A and B are shown apart, each in its own frame.
Chain A
Amino acid sequence: MSAFWLLDFVLLALLVASAGVVVWLRNLNGAVMALSAVGVLLTVLFVALGAPDVAHSEVVVGAIALPVLYLVAIGKARTDVTDEEDLGERGEGRRVRR
């Protein structure tokens, strides 16, 4: 087992852990951050597996575009959903009025 497979295995373990964090977190904003971490780790994995073009599109889509889409959707849903329990934001530091 060479060091390349060690890199592969560490990346896979982190990928599965980040996916577990996405499922486990109740806070929607935190889950979006974990999804972005999944995109970043998948990018390194694609480079290690010899697919730099796929890694290009994955870093743009998985690490930036997809979280921004989710954040826009959460922000638009927040204006309509009054129940904060629903968005999983009970323990968050909410916006300070000033």
Chain B
Amino acid sequence: MIVVNYLAAAAVFCLGLYAVLTRRNIIKMVMGLSLMEASTYLFVVSVAYRARSTAPVLLNPQDGKTPAELAKGDVADPVLQNFCLTAIVIGVALTAVFLAVAVRVAQHYRTLDADKVRAMRG
């Protein structure tokens, strides 16, 4: 059943790649890159999930419960979730850098069209 998550992640990745390859607007290309990042997060968290597992946060259980009762047998893989957390933080910085480059292109060439920018470059 978790295979469907992998397929959906692949579909979102392909949509982002399509946007990057075919759109002419530079900000739309950056949106495609954001979609590819989002598909990566989905894939990593789906790999971390095991069947009927719960969150790997077992500290401070509520009254009358032990950590083993909270886990109910299995927890998801915390290492991959931490990878995903780091990837989200790096991804927003990466998007900010790309958007800064796009704004500089718009200020310098007075257009956001990638083809026109290439033509003006010569």
A contact residues vs B (CB 8 Å cutoff): 1, 5, 8-9, 12, 15-16, 19-20, 22-23, 28, 31-32, 35, 38-39, 42, 45-46, 49-54, 57-58, 61-62, 65-66, 69-70, 72-74, 76-77, 80-83, 86-88
Contacts and interface: CB of A to CB of B under 8 A. Distances in A.
Interface residues of B, number: 52
A52 B57 contact: yes
Interface of B: 1, 4-5, 8, 11-12, 15-16, 18-19, 23, 25, 27-28, 30-32, 34-35, 38, 41-42, 45-46, 48-49, 53-57, 75-76, 81, 84-85, 88-89, 91-92, 95-96, 99-100, 102-103, 106-107, 110-113
Contacts, number: 137
